[in-house]
């Protein structure tokens, strides 16, 4: 399993390779550096999945205990906005793929456009979420002791909203972080840092963005389609 290729004459000369300015001194070559970064990113994604799986577990536990309350409470969510946001994120995943693809083909202009598009779609998602949240705030359909909705007819409905806000809130933070990173990528792309020879950050951010989308794909039916 020796997957480390050493250029003839020892690695010291690897620094002389054309793309050396992105190569950190402790790596032998770009491929090795790229693969290491990729492993790191995948591991990070694994931790994200485990983080959310804790939330899913808590959700299922509460739902099993209060099935009626969960069904009742979820009717307060706006299903069409949920569908809209699901589509928005799916499209943003597509634009992200295209950004990576364009970078790989050295089409920097296209990369930029797709990055802007992904960023914008993230913004749309947050905006829709904002509309949803403000309705809930208005109606007092909030988490825990902030729940002040008067028309609830099954006890325990606030538990649903506890989960709703904690889950979508943490997911939303991930969207915001993702947008921050994409903004950084846009800036760096403007500076001509990336090319087909080096686009690791775009590639890895893509992985992250897909995971955040994927989590939403799970959240959507859990929260909007309770049966």
Residue closer to another protein (CB basis): 71 or 97 = 71
- Which spans of this chain sit near another protein (rule: CB under 8 A)? 1-4, 6, 10-12, 24-28, 32, 35-37, 39-40, 43-44, 46-48, 50-55, 57-58, 61-62, 65-66, 143-146, 155-156, 158-159, 162-163, 166, 170
Helix runs in 66-107, H state only: 67-74, 79-104
Closest separation in Å from C-beta 67 to another protein = 12
Closest separation in Å from C-beta 203 to another protein = 15
Tokens 């492993």 — which residue? 39
Residue closer to another protein (CB basis): 30 or 118 = 30
Residue closer to another protein (CB basis): 91 or 143 = 143
Q: Within 13 A of 209's CA, how many CA atoms are on the CB side? A: 32
What tokens appear for 117 in the block?
């598009």
Nearest to 44 by CA among 223, 225, 211, 221: 211
Instruction: With beta carbons less than 8 A apart as the criterion, state whether 183 and 123 touch.
Output: no
Q: What CA–CA distance (Å, rounded) separates 179 from 129?
A: 15
Q: Could you give the C-alpha distances from 98 to 112, 115, 120, 121, in angstroms and in order?
A: 10, 9, 15, 14
Residue closer to another protein (CB basis): 2 or 153 = 2
């Amino acid at each position: 399993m020796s997957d480390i290729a050493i250029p003839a004459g020892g690695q010291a000369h690897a620094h002389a390779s054309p793309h050396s300015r992105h190569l950190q001194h402790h790596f032998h070559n770009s491929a090795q550096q790229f693969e290491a970064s990729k492993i790191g990113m995948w591991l990070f994604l694994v931790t994200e999945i485990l983080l959310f799986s804790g939330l899913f577990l808590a959700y299922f536990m509460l739902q099993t205990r209060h099935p009626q309350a969960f069904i009742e409470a979820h009717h307060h969510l706006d299903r069409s906005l949920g569908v809209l946001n699901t589509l928005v994120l799916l499209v943003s995943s597509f634009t992200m793929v295209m950004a990576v693809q364009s970078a790989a083909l050295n089409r920097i202009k296209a990369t930029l456009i797709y990055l802007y598009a992904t960023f914008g779609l993230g913004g749309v998602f947050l905006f829709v979420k904002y509309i949803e949240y403000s309705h809930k705030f208005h109606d007092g359909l909030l988490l825990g002791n902030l729940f002040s909705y008067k028309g609830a007819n099954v006890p325990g409905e606030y538990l649903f909203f506890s989960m709703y806000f904690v889950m979508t809130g943490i997911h939303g933070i991930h969207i915001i972080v993702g947008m921050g990173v994409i903004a950084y990528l846009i800036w760096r792309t403007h500076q001509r840092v990336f090319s087909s020879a080096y686009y690791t950050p775009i590639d890895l951010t893509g992985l992250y963005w897909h995971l955040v989308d994927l989590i939403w794909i799970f959240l959507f039916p859990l929260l909007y389609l309770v049966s």
